[in-house]
Amino acid sequence: MRHIISLLMENEAGALSRVAGLFSARGYNIESLTVAPTEDPTMSRMTIVTSGSDAVIEQINKQLNKLVDVVAVMDLSEGEHLERELMLVKIRAKGEDRDELKRMADIFRGRIIDVSNETYTIELTGAGSKLDNFLEAVGRELILETVRTGASGIGRGDRILKL
Amino acid sequence: MELTGAEIIIRCLQEEQVEYAFGYPGGAVLFIYDELFKQDKVKHILVRHEQAAVHAADGYARSSDKVGVAIVTSGPGLTNAVTGIATAYMDSIPMVIISGQVPTFAIGEDAFQEVDAVGITRPCVKHNFLVKDPKDIAETIKKAFYLARTGRPGPVLVDIPKDVSNQKAVFEYPESVSIRSYHPPGKADSTQIRHAAQMLLEAKRPMIYAGGGVVQGDASLQLIELVHLLGAPCTNTLMGLGGFPAGDNQFVGMLGMHGTYEANMAMQHCDVLLAVGARFDDRVIGNVAHFAEVPRKIIHIDIDPSSIAKRVKVDLPIVADLKLALGELLDVLKSSKQKPDAAELASWWKQVNEWRVKGGGMRYKNSTEVIKPQYVIETLHKITGGDAFITSDVGQHQMWAAQYYKFNKPRRWINSGGLGTMGFGLPAAMGVQLINPGETVACVTGEGSIQMNIQELSTCKQFRLPIKVLALNNRYLGMVRQWQEFFHGNRYSESYMDALPDFVKLAEAYGHVGMRIDNPADVEPAIKEAFARKDDLVFMDFRTDSTENVFPMVPGGKGLSEVILAEDL
């Protein structure tokens, strides 16, 4: 099953490689991994999307907690949570396609952030599945380039991951 | 007052009351060695290869309750140390390794003797640090010792660039240190302990399975009291030997791949299993699915949550310091009015004793023609009164030492259980001998393993370490040969060693005493003579039966009850 795991870790050189190394050494899946410093500059927040049986997910949580640089771990998918991913996508937009693609971007609440004679670059935010749907709607033949950040997640309401 | 980084490092080691540091000098640690030279509190043991420095620090830690310390230079010094570090990591041994690094301005430029020490060791340390500023050295070393010895112990590496060891900073050694992301477990949860006590009291076929955590956690006395109170059979893992006395009636021997029949059968057929400081690894319970076929309740007490429910499902997990948790469990059991059901317990012991008879304990057919390796270990046990520190290398001799030397005390059996590192025994024995002066230290080895770190005979001479080396020389890499015999159609691919050295002359060349023993009748007199030479390292080359195999054996991937006993073949 797909799980989205959030963690706080020391904002130190090498901390990211400890997490990434743990996943590769123990053969766990990483679907995506995002990381950036928090409002407290000594800490970084990471979101990992992974998948595995309950036993594997339990081990992932325990092994992450065991890393000395990891301050706190939360499996967001164990409760209510929000998940967003940012995508920048450059598409071929010529002739009559231009209006159609503009409408499509609007429907998906995307924004066109760069325009050339033959291309649009669209910014789109949402759950991963929404981004997938947009790409499918546009059609592979028009897609020139996609950049995705991977999912970032946060608990709903009072679910807070903080030191 | 400002001190150089190197002075600070040595002052930190002094503050930690490090008596011995094991190491090898080189370019990146020259300033550190210069400071070592100027003082005499931290004694340095110059090994002949960095792997041996780490194994010696490891033996030092295992046979005491101290943190081992090794110092190595950058590049090859560090890479040579990696096998030792991984060995300590797998067996959870507290250790601090100080490695030199190229100067900070040269890092990343492929400088002479540069490797990414933090990167290379990351998967085999509890934690590691690269210190880039001399003012961070003291706190980092304090943290390293704290991390190494608390929680589930392990090796911690501190990598120090050469310029950092030469720059100055104010020295102040912190009294204590806290790490906001690190909280080693303490007492157990009292509800869980009461629950565990109830499960154990209601058990019809209780079994206690204790591992290296009991030895490392100094929880042996609590374990003994608990086993006696419950009246249950107790088994030890390879790492746990000595944690429960082998001479006790309730001890059913070591379990696992080469464990006793009764230990493995009791493990398989018990109804409540108490696992203490053990991790159900593949060499212990074999096939997980086969183990799960028999329903049983499992209580697992361990200091490391990730050891619990890793390979088998656990009914009651208890994350705690073992000594505290077992103490709490004892208190609850003692204040309880309940006792385990005597009739059920008697019928369980009847069954266990039947397995004892069927398995026959540890047995082999002795010979007057050729030396049986098991006989050498039995004789070693007899001559040393079961009271020696025994280190071993890896292979058949290791299993025979584990099976036939009956350990009654913790920290006496020193072997590489997790990583299975050949070449561990002799350097580990050096560390053991140094921290236990005057005690009897023997290294049981094979002609294969000993050659992986034989250069340390030179270190032993320099520091007058009177270790007794017992090489069970069967001319084969015995465990490899055994598997080839059982599972690879007797094709002894590269497991025979031709052109072995004359070990007697070799020992003499290093300035030691060498003995060659060919006849069974000479085994006991030779061991007696060797151990009577209190001040000498004696190398005993026993020419043993080259076809002897280790039994019982649960083949890889099989279940605990699918054992091959000696008479099955």
Residue A162 is assigned to a structural domain of this protein: no
Is the separation of the CB atoms in B86 and B419 below 8 Å? yes
Residue B565 has what pLDDT? 87
Q: What is the DSSP letter of B563?
A: P
Whether residue A158 is contained in a domain is answered as no
Determine, for residues B122 and A21 on separate chains, whether the beta-carbon distance falls below 8 Å.
Answer: yes
Q: Give tens-digit pLDDT for A66-113.
A: 999 999 999 999 999 999 999 999 999 999 999 999 999 999 999 999
Q: What is the ipTM of this complex?
A: 0.92
Same domain, yes or no, for A38 and A90? no
Among candidates A17, A58, A68 on the partner chain, residue whose Cβ is nearest the Cβ of B179: A68
Mean pLDDT, range B497-508, rounded to an integer? 96
Res A137: pLDDT: 95
Q: Mutate which of A24, A61, A66 to test chain B, going by most B C-beta atoms within 10 A?
A: A66
Minimum distance, in Å, between the CA of residue B136 and any CA atom of chain A: 14
B14 is catalytic: no
The C-alpha atoms of residue B491 and residue B366 are separated, in whole angstroms, by: 27
- CB-based contact B62:B93 (threshold 8 Å): yes
For A22, the domain range is 2-79
Q: Pick the last residue of a domain from A79, A103, A121.
A: A79
**Average model confidence (pLDDT) across chain A:** 96
Instruction: Determine the residue type at B196.
Output: A
Confidence of residue B566 (pLDDT cuts 50, 70, 90): confident
Residue B64's Cβ-count burial label (10 Å; 0-12, 13-18, 19+) is: middle
Q: A10 lies in a domain?
A: yes
Q: What's the mean pLDDT in B227-241?
A: 98
Which amino acid would we find at residue B90? M
Neighbours of B106 (CB within 10 A): 15
Cβ–Cβ gap A65/B304 under 8 Å: no
A74 and A86 in a common domain: no
Does B522 have pLDDT greater than 60? Answer: yes
B372, B392, B500: which is closest to B445 by C-alpha? B392
CA distance B49 to B453: 8
Residue from A62, A64, A70, A71 to probe the interface with B (highest B Cβ count within 10 Å): A62
Active site residue B487: no
pLDDT digits (tens, 9 = 90+) for A37-60: 999 999 999 999 999 999 999 999
Burial class of residue A150, CB neighbours in 10 A (0-12, 13-18, 19+): middle
C-beta of residue B204 within 8 angstroms of C-beta of residue B34? no
Q: Between vectors from CA B20 to CA B17 and to CA B23, what angle results, nearest 5°?
A: 130
Tokens at B469, concatenated = 């080396």
Nearest residue, CB atoms, A69 vs list B119, B181, B304: B181
**B329-377 pLDDT tens trace:** 999 999 998 999 999 999 999 999 999 998 877 889 999 999 999 999 9
Closest CA to B403 of B255, B566, B249: B255
Residue B568's pLDDT band (boundaries 50, 70, 90)?
A: low
Last residue of a domain, one of A56, A79, A102: A79
Q: Which residues of B touch A72 (CB under 8 A)?
A: 181
Is B479 catalytic? The answer is yes
Return the half-sphere exposure (C-beta side, CA atoms, 13 A cut-off) of residue B247: 8
Is B126 close to A68, i.e. CB distance below 8 A?
A: yes
Split into its structural domains, chain A has a count of 2
Write out chain A residues lying below 8 Å of B158, CB-based.
Answer: none
Give the CATH number, domain containing residue A117: 3.30.70.1150
CB contact under 8 A, B304 and A13: no
What proportion of chain B, given as a percentage, has pLDDT over 90? 95
Closest CA to B417 of B169, B274, B216: B216
* pLDDT computed for residue B362 by the predictor: 80
Q: Is B116 on the interface with A (CB under 8 A)?
A: no
Can you give the pLDDT at residue A13?
86
One domain for residues A21 and A44: yes
**Distance spanning both ends of chain A, measured CA to CA:** 28
What are B493's strand-pairing partners? none
Mean of the pLDDT values across residues B540-554? Answer: 96
- CB-defined contacts A:B, below 8 A: 38
Domain co-membership, A89 together with A146: yes
Same domain, A75 and A93: no
Residues in B closer than 8 angstroms to A21, CB to CB, are 122-123
Q: A20 and A52: one domain? A: yes
Assess whether B50 carries a catalytic annotation.
yes
Note if B113 is an active site residue.
Answer: yes
Is residue A71 located within the same domain as residue A93? no
Catalytic residue among B265, B362, B399, B479: B479
Mean pLDDT across B310-314: 93
Could you give the residue ranges of the DSSP H alpha helices within B443-550?
A: 456-462, 478-487, 503-509, 520-532
Q: ∠B462-B468-B474 over CA atoms, to 5°?
A: 120
- Note the Cα B260 to chain centre separation in Å: 20
Contact yes or no for B181 and A25 at CB 8 A: no
> Environment class of residue B338 by beta-carbon count within 10 Å: exposed (0-12), middle (13-18) or buried (19+)?
exposed
* B552 cis-preceded (ω within 30 degrees of 0): yes
Nearest-CA distance B118 → chain A (Å):
8
Contact (CB<8Å) A17/B122: yes
A129 located within any domain: yes
| Contact map slice: B 477-516 vs A, CB within 8 A | none
Cβ–Cβ contacts within 10 Å for residue B30, how many? 16
- Is the per-residue pLDDT at B569 higher than 60? no
- Per-residue confidence (pLDDT) for residue B396, from 0 to 100: 98
Average pLDDT, chain B: 96
Residue A73 lies in a domain: yes
Same domain, yes or no, for A31 and A48?
yes
Do both A118 and A57 map to the same domain?
no
Q: Is B304 on the interface with A (CB under 8 A)?
A: yes
Instruction: Note whether residue A103 is domain-resident.
Output: yes
Residue ranges of chain A whose CB lies within 8 Å of a chain B CB? 9-10, 13-14, 17-18, 21, 25, 55, 58-59, 62-63, 65-66, 68-72, 163
Task: With CB atoms and an 8 Å threshold, state whether A13 touches B180.
Answer: no
Of A98-112, B401-415, B551-565, the one with minimum mean pLDDT is: B551-565
Could you tell me the domains of chain B?
Answer: 2-170 (3.40.50.970), 190-359 (3.40.50.1220), 373-550 (3.40.50.970)
Chosen domain end from A79, A104, A120: A79
Q: Specify burial of residue B371 (Cβ count, 10 A radius: 0-12, 13-18, 19+).
A: buried
Q: Are A33 and A91 in the same domain? A: no
| A17/B119 CB distance under 8 A | yes
The CATH number of the domain holding residue A66 is 3.30.70.260
Same domain? A17 vs A73: yes
Among B122, B147, B310, beta carbon nearest to A59: B310
Residues A67 and A86 in one domain: no
> CB of B62 within 8 Å of any CB in chain A?
no
Identify the active-site residue in B126, B142, B143, B162.
Answer: B162
Is residue A161 included in any domain, yes or no?
A: no
Q: Alpha-carbon distance B288 to B309, whole Å? A: 12
Domain contains A163:
no
3-state secondary structure of B457: helix
Question: Closest approach of chain B CAs to the CA of A12, in angstroms?
Answer: 10
